[in-house]
């Protein structure tokens, strides 16, 4: 019995020190990481959605760009979900019910795509619903990360966020290639049906959240107070200056939809190969997070951010070689070039993202920078502003271009 207890303690200590980077192993931490993991494995349907809109519904690149742009709306109003969870408890809880609801909404959306969606407008509605589902769950777990991050030391700042993004990247890694492989042998609707089971994991792990019931009901006064605190938080120069910079950086039209049509119609890339490309980018994301956590945590924020911006720009422009077929002149096959082109920019962006959370006052989400009375709002707004991961703004100009 003693030996068993010793072995269990040793395993737990190993997990905490080697896998969780020093974070204590608790059921709530498991729940948080599983929610981020689900966000990653939802990528199983990413290629399926693109092929469904292009081939099954016959939408044009402009229409696909408009649809995907509208699907980002829940992310642009993400602080509102923070207001709801903080000011409108459900059944006496501020976190669990919203996670359960988000899982149910997500499952319903993917199930609808698998069965009854046959028009562009219907696809827009359910994709918007699935995006809403992820945004709600994300704002809830982000608020939990904020609360736990307040207890971190300065040297450990960003560790939990790195774990969270790592869980998401692992989920994406698992399903990246599988999504393309499935499309080679099954229909898009079957992939949607499988994906519909993933959000239910969020609903289940919601019960692992350590949350005390609150006796407070909906309060307009509390919401008004939170709005005032949010205004105070975002009016700080340390917050709005980086937010403005990243807004201008991201508020440019994206060519994602047009590029997908280019790779499938002109370059004739198959779903299986596109899955391989996603696999490479997922590996690059994990490497980027590991590099930051291992080597760059003590490097000044400005240094990493400046170099990340320059390198990401250079790597991003390399796509022009593929579009103009200049890579063929250089003797590089389209497939090999696409595999090599996809990873450096992703690796650089994930280093920059992890650095922005760990190194900036807003990104650290520390108690001395953010009022404890506004748990799920101002820290999330700050994180949205400082994190290129979400790209909340970047797809919206695509809507304007499409119309």
2 is a domain residue: no
Most confident range, picked from 123-127, 247-251, 348-352, 376-380 = 123-127
**pLDDT category, 34, cuts 50, 70, 90?**
very high
* Structure tokens belonging to residue 152: 């971190």
**pLDDT category, 129, cuts 50, 70, 90?**
very high
**pLDDT category, 320, cuts 50, 70, 90?**
confident
Residue in the block written with tokens 């039209």: 253
**pLDDT category, 3, cuts 50, 70, 90?**
low
Query: If you average pLDDT over residues 46-66, what whole number do you get?
Result: 91
12 is a domain residue: no
Q: Is residue 364 within 8 Å of residue 161, measured between CB atoms? A: no
Q: What is each CA distance from 149 to 141, 158, 167, 169, 244, in whole angstroms?
A: 12, 8, 17, 20, 25
337 is a domain residue: yes
Task: Say what the pLDDT of residue 397 is.
Answer: 42
101 is a domain residue: yes
Q: What is each CA distance from 377 to 79, 180, 382, in whole angstroms?
A: 5, 37, 9
6 is a domain residue: no
Domain of 48, CATH number, reads 1.20.1250.20
Task: Say what the pLDDT of residue 218 is.
Answer: 62
Out of 161-175, 192-206, 208-222, 341-355, least confident range: 341-355
Q: What CA–CA distance (Å, rounded) separates 239 from 99?
A: 28
9 is a domain residue: no
Out of 47-56, 343-352, 387-396, least confident range: 387-396
pLDDT(226) > 60? yes
Number of structural domains, the chain? Answer: 1
Strand segments (E) across 131-182: none
Query: If you average pLDDT over residues 227-251, what whole number do you get?
Result: 76
pLDDT(358) > 60? no
Most confident range, picked from 94-108, 232-246, 340-354 = 94-108
What would you report as the CA-atom Rg of the chain, rounded to the nearest whole angstrom?
Answer: 21
Compute the C-alpha angle 101/107/112, nearest 5°. 125
Out of 56-60, 122-126, 167-171, 394-398, least confident range: 394-398
Q: List residues bridging with 93 in a β-sheet.
A: 90
Dihedral sign from CA coordinates of 132, 390, 392, 234: positive
Out of 75-79, 104-108, 183-187, 318-322, least confident range: 75-79
**pLDDT category, 158, cuts 50, 70, 90?**
low
Task: Say what the pLDDT of residue 38 is.
Answer: 95
**pLDDT category, 88, cuts 50, 70, 90?**
confident
196 is a domain residue: yes
Owning domain of residue 172 = 23-402
pLDDT(83) > 90? no
Q: What is the DSSP string of 269-284?
A: --HHHHHHHHHHHHHH
pLDDT digit string (tens) for 362-399? 344 443 444 444 444 444 444 544 443 444 434 444 44
Q: What CA–CA distance (Å, rounded) separates 324 from 61?
A: 19
Q: What is each CA distance from 134 to 37, 81, 113, 145, 297, in whole angstroms?
A: 12, 11, 16, 16, 29
357 is a domain residue: yes
* Structure tokens belonging to residue 49: 């959605």
pLDDT(72) > 50? yes
Query: If you average pLDDT over residues 239-252, what whole number do you get?
Result: 74
Task: Say what the pLDDT of residue 161 is.
Answer: 75
């Amino acid at each position: 019995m003693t030996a068993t207890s010793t072995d269990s303690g040793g395993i737990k200590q190993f997990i905490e020190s080697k896998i969780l980077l020093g974070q204590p192993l608790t059921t709530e931490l498991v729940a948080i990481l599983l929610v981020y993991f689900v966000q990653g494995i939802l990528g199983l349907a990413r290629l399926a959605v693109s092929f469904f809109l292009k081939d099954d519904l016959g939408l044009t690149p402009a229409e696909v760009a408009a649809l995907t742009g509208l699907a980002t709306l829940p992310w642009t109003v993400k602080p509102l979900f923070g207001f709801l969870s903080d000011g409108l408890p459900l059944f006496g809880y501020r976190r669990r019910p919203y996670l359960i609801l988000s899982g149910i909404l997500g499952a319903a959306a993917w199930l609808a795509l698998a069965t009854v969606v046959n028009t562009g407008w219907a696809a827009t509605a359910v994709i918007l619903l699935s995006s809403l589902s992820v945004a709600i769950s994300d704002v809830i777990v982000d608020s939990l990360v904020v609360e736990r991050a307040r207890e971190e030391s300065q040297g450990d700042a960003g560790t939990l966020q790195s774990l969270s993004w790592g869980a998401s990247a692992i989920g994406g890694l698992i399903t990246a290639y599988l999504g393309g492989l499935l499309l080679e042998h099954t229909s898009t609707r079957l992939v949607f049906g499988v994906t519909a089971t993933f959000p239910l994991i969020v609903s289940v792990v919601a019960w692992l959240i350590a949350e005390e019931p609150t006796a407070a009901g909906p309060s307009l006064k509390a919401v008004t107070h939170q709005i005032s605190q949010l205004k105070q938080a975002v009016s700080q120069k340390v917050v709005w200056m980086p937010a403005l910079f990243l807004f201008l950086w991201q508020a440019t039209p994206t060519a994602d939809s047009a590029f997908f049509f280019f790779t499938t119609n002109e370059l004739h890339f198959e779903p299986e190969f596109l899955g391989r490309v996603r696999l490479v980018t997922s590996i690059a994301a994990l490497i980027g997070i590991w590099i930051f956590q291992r080597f760059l945590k003590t490097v000044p924020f400005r240094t990493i951010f400046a170099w990340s911006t320059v390198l990401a720009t250079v790597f991003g422009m390399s796509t022009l070689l593929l579009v103009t077929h200049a890579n063929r002149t250089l003797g590089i096959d389209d497939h090999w070039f696409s595999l090599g082109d996809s990873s450096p920019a992703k690796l650089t962006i994930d280093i920059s993202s992890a650095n922005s959370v760990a190194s900036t006052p807003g990104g650290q989400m520390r108690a001395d920078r953010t009022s404890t009375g506004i748990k799920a709002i101002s820290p999330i707004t700050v994180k949205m502003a400082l994190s290129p991961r979400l790209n909340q703004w970047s797809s919206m100009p695509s809507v304007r271009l499409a119309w």
